[in-house]
Structure 1
Amino acid sequence: MFCVGLFLSYGVALAFRLWPQHLVALDLLLAPAGCVVLLALGAWLERGKARGRSPSGRTVSATT
């Protein structure tokens, strides 16, 4: 999850560097989009935990 956030922030920084004249529009577009991506990823990972699976797809016991 942390790594995905780092890659998203790198992508936003790259977009800011490539199109500095559109900084406000990019900020208004990319910040909420990044939040949605991280929320969706977190929900997907938690759904897998509730079903007893690790993010790699392996079954985990209830004690871990």
Structure 2
Amino acid sequence: MTAQECATKRIPVCPSTWETVHQLRRPGQTYDDVINELIRKNSENLLIEEAGRIRKRNKYVSLAELEK
């Protein structure tokens, strides 16, 4: 996505949060890239946590049963 395609928004954050995000930024990355990567990683972590909860319940349903 080009800079022209992105809307310019201001998101107020405390200085320590800004510093942390700034430190996560690699050369050539935009802040949009950093935020999108954080969102992707969070989504992956939520999926892993949910899979763990399902595994702990040890109650599985076959796909065939779901299709009924």
Higher relative contact order (CA 8 A, sep 6+): 1
Q: Which has the higher helix share?
A: 1
Which has the higher Rg, Structure 1 or Structure 2? 2
